[in-house]
């Protein structure tokens, strides 16, 4: 297992390396290699191929809280870029794919990596890394050292996404 | 980021050179043709109909309240020299076309300036008056009055010689992601132009209509104010209005807007 902390200024090389690992794993040429990641002030987690298998918290995610976080413009704000089966909310974005049925397409472990650090899957991804504090530039003072969503909030959003069957 | 930046730039240049002939043939069928140049288009094209309607009518466009005040200032003496703009420049129409080349390196001082900074340069060097403050009604109004003299004329930015380093710095900024959301200007205004973020249809983020009257602001506002807002939305620190970073970005996006007509004062929601 390789330990790859997010260090300032080394974000991109680290990502390139994590992507290479994912590529290898998917190609089936290596026995599932893993990368351990720890950003300052956050829980460490292990990327295993395209997944983070272990939940970030002991408390299971709550889908109801997750839906509220998904909608809230100051929290997940997922509707900025995504359409989702939430007809009571006006104006869904279309920068990312429609999330209807995403709970059937993706496992909780896959959703976890997607939310925690989409750029570990796809370095050019436009989707923000919701659980990350390192390697960012010009961050507004109030948000320095803070992830967009806390560990429990990530688990809550995953629980909600899993209801989208 | 490197590959993406140069890919984006190459695509932009390609688009700008290749698309011109296509544009010429479509022009007569397209009611918005005046707001396009090749692959480039102004925010008017993606704008909402009610904002467009107000922009189309100078009597309805609230920006002209600032323009009228600026026209009074134009003839008002100020500073230790006791001169007004009009004393040297005569009618403001004498500045027709001047705004299309800004930002640029000022011939008289060798400094790099946009229209705002050039106005303040005249105030300081020619009039012995204090510069107008960033985002003050005076500076917004005078900038609008000066740019209005070039309305309809194509933006024409020189990025060679001493301007080149400003262009490069601005391009670098434009393609570098920043803020807690880790997004670059280009992510929204190049990669996703035409897509929706909630109710907002992403345009190319063109500068040719500034200062702009924004419904959300309920007043006239500068390009640098808009950039501060775009930084704030991705939870990035807002940088100094009229500071070097935004001046460099203004250079890059004004070059990108080459060929688009000056549209000042535009109206947006």
Smallest Cβ–Cβ distance between B178 and the set A91, A137, A148 belongs to: A137
Chains A–B, number of C-beta pairs less than 8 Å apart? 68
How many angstroms separate the CA atoms of B188 and B221, rounded?
21
Lowest mean pLDDT among A24-33, B50-59, B199-208, B209-218: A24-33
The verdict on residue B108 lying in a domain is yes
Q: Do B178 and A92 touch (CB under 8 A)?
A: no
Q: Is the pLDDT assigned to residue A33 strictly greater than 60?
A: yes
**Strand pairing category for B212-214 and B266-268:** parallel
Smallest Cβ–Cβ distance between B197 and the set A81, A139, A143 belongs to: A81
The verdict on residue B3 lying in a domain is no
The verdict on residue B206 lying in a domain is yes
Contacts for A13 with CB less than 8 Å, ≥ 6 apart: none
Reduced to 3 states (helix: H, G, I; strand: E, B; else coil), residue A86 is coil
Q: How far from chain centre, in Å, is Cα B169?
A: 17
CB B80 within 8 A of CB B71: no
Q: Do B55 and B172 fall within a single domain? A: yes
Q: Do B108 and B13 fall within a single domain? A: no
Q: Is the pLDDT assigned to residue A12 strictly greater than 90?
A: no
Q: Do B114 and B42 fall within a single domain? A: no
- Over residues B124-139, the mean pLDDT reads 98
Domains and CATH numbers, chain A: 13-162 (1.10.760.10)
pLDDT in tens, B69-80: 999 999 999 999
Q: Do B50 and B166 fall within a single domain? A: yes
Smallest Cβ–Cβ distance between A93 and the set B181, B197, B238 belongs to: B197
Any idea what the CATH number is for the domain that residue B240 is in? 1.10.760.10
Q: Which two tokens stand for residue A160?
A: 């909600």
The verdict on residue B163 lying in a domain is yes
Please give the helix or strand (H or E) that residue A36 lies within, else none: strand A34-37
Q: Do B161 and B73 fall within a single domain? A: no
Q: Do B43 and B117 fall within a single domain? A: no
How many angstroms separate the CA atoms of A141 and A138, rounded?
9
Q: At B127, is the pLDDT very low, low, confident or very high (cuts 50, 70, 90)?
A: very high
User: Which range of residues forms the domain containing residue B253?
Assistant: 8-60+156-268
DSSP B24-37: HHHGGG-TTGGGEE
Chain A positions in Cβ-Cβ contact with residue B246 (cut-off 8 Å): none
Q: Do B180 and A92 touch (CB under 8 A)?
A: no
ipTM of the complex: 0.84
Q: At B30, is the pLDDT very low, low, confident or very high (cuts 50, 70, 90)?
A: confident
pLDDT in tens, B171-210: 999 999 999 999 999 999 999 999 999 999 999 999 999 9
CB contact B195 to A (< 8 Å): yes
pLDDT in tens, B3-28: 333 333 434 444 444 334 444 445 56
The verdict on residue B2 lying in a domain is no
Q: Which two tokens stand for residue A79?
A: 């509707």
pLDDT in the model for residue B31: 85
First and final CA of chain A: distance in angstroms?
34
Quote the strand ranges of chain B, DSSP E.
Answer: 36-37, 40-41, 104-105, 112-113, 196-197, 200-201, 212-214, 219-221, 266-268
The verdict on residue B45 lying in a domain is yes
How many angstroms separate the CA atoms of A147 and A134, rounded?
9
pLDDT in the model for residue A32: 54
Domain boundary among B148, B167, B189: B148
Percent of chain B with pLDDT over 70: 90
Cis preceding-peptide flag for B103 (omega within 30 of 0): yes
Percent of chain B with pLDDT over 90: 88
- Say what the pTM is: 0.90
Nearest-CA distance A10 → chain B (Å): 13
Q: B13 burial class (0-12, 13-18, 19+ CB within 10 angstroms)?
A: exposed
Reduced to 3 states (helix: H, G, I; strand: E, B; else coil), residue B223 is helix
First and final CA of chain B: distance in angstroms?
32
Nearest-CA distance B62 → chain A (Å): 28
CB B77 within 8 A of CB B83: yes
Q: Do B44 and B166 fall within a single domain? A: yes
Which B positions 172-191 lie with beta carbon below 8 A of chain A?
176-183, 187, 191
How many angstroms separate the CA atoms of B6 and A161, rounded?
36
CB A117 within 8 A of CB A131: yes
Chain B positions in Cβ-Cβ contact with residue A12 (cut-off 8 Å): 1
Q: Do B192 and B120 fall within a single domain? A: no
The verdict on residue B1 lying in a domain is no
pLDDT in tens, A99-153: 999 999 999 999 999 999 999 999 999 999 999 999 999 999 999 999 999 999 9
Chain B positions in Cβ-Cβ contact with residue A148 (cut-off 8 Å): 180-181
Q: Which two tokens stand for residue A57?
A: 């918290």
- Chain A contact probe: residue of B3, B235, B245 with most A CBs at under 10 A: B235
Q: Do B37 and B81 fall within a single domain? A: no
- Chain B contact probe: residue of A84, A118, A138 with most B CBs at under 10 A: A138
How many angstroms separate the CA atoms of A64 and B187, rounded?
31
How many angstroms separate the CA atoms of B215 and B198, rounded?
18
CB B46 within 8 A of CB B192: no
Counting the structural domains of chain B, the total is: 2
Q: Do B167 and B213 fall within a single domain? A: yes
Q: Do B105 and B184 fall within a single domain? A: no
Nearest Cα neighbor of B41 from B55, B27, B51, B59 is B27
CB contact B2 to A (< 8 Å): no
B88: number of Cβ within 10 Å: 12
Q: Which two tokens stand for residue B29?
A: 């069928």
CB B115 within 8 A of CB B134: no
Smallest Cβ–Cβ distance between A95 and the set B176, B192, B239 belongs to: B192
Phi first, then psi, for residue B172 (nearest 5°) are: -60, -45
Chain B positions in Cβ-Cβ contact with residue A143 (cut-off 8 Å): 180, 235
- Over residues B38-64, the mean pLDDT reads 96
Axis crossing angle, helix A151-162 with helix A108-121, rounded to the nearest 10: 120
The verdict on residue B197 lying in a domain is yes
Q: Do A91 and B235 touch (CB under 8 A)?
A: no
Q: Do B50 and B169 fall within a single domain? A: yes
pLDDT in the model for residue B28: 64
B85 is catalytic: no
- Specify which residues A47 forms β-bridges with: A35
């Amino acid at each position: 297992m390789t330990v790859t902390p997010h260090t300032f200024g080394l974000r991109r090389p680290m990502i390139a390396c994590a992507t290479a690992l994912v590529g290898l794993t998917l190609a089936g040429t290596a026995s599932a290699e893993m990368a351990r990641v720890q950003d300052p002030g956050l829980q460490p987690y292990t990327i295993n191929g395209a997944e983070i298998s272990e939940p970030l918290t002991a408390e299971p995610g709550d889908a109801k809280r997750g839906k509220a976080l998904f909608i809230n413009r100051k929290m997940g704000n997922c509707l900025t870029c995504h359409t989702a089966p939430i007809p009571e909310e006006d104006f869904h974005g279309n920068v990312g794919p429609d999330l209807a049925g995403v709970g059937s397409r993706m496992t909780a472990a896959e959703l976890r990596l997607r939310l925690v650090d989409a750029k570990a899957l796809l370095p050019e991804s436009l989707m923000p890394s919701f659980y990350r504090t390192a390697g960012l530039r010009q961050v507004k003072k109030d948000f320095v050292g803070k992830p967009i969503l806390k560990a429990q909030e990530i688990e809550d959003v995953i629980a909600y996404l899993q209801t989208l069957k | 980021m490197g590959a993406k930046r140069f890919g984006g730039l190459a695509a932009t240049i390609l688009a700008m050179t290749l698309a011109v002939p296509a544009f010429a043939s479509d022009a007569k069928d397209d009611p918005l043709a005046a707001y396009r140049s090749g692959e480039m288009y102004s925010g008017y094209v993606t704008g909402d109909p009610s904002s467009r309607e107000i922009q189309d009518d100078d009597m309805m466009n609230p920006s002209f309240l600032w323009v009228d005040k600026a026209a009074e200032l134009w003839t008002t003496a100020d500073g230790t020299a006791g001169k007004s703009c009009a004393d040297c420049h005569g009618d403001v129409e004498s500045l027709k076309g001047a705004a299309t080349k800004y930002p640029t390196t000022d011939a008289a001082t060798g400094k790099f300036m946009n229209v705002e900074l050039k106005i303040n340069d005249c105030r300081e060097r020619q009039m012995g008056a204090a510069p107008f403050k960033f985002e003050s009604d005076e500076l917004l109004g005078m900038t609008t009055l000066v740019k209005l003299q070039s309305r309809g004329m194509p933006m024409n930015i020189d990025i060679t010689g001493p301007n080149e380093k400003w262009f490069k710095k601005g391009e670098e900024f434009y393609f570098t992601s920043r803020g807690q959301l880790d997004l670059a200007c280009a992510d929204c205004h190049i990669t996703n132009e035409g897509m929706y973020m909630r109710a907002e249809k992403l345009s190319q983020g063109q500068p040719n209509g500034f200062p702009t009257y924004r419904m959300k602001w309920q007043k006239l506002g500068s390009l640098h104010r808009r950039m501060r807002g775009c930084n704030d939305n991705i939870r990035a620190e807002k940088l100094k209005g009229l500071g070097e970073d935004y001046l460099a970005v203004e250079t890059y996006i004004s070059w990108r807007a080459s060929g688009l007509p000056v549209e000042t004062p535009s109206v947006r929601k």
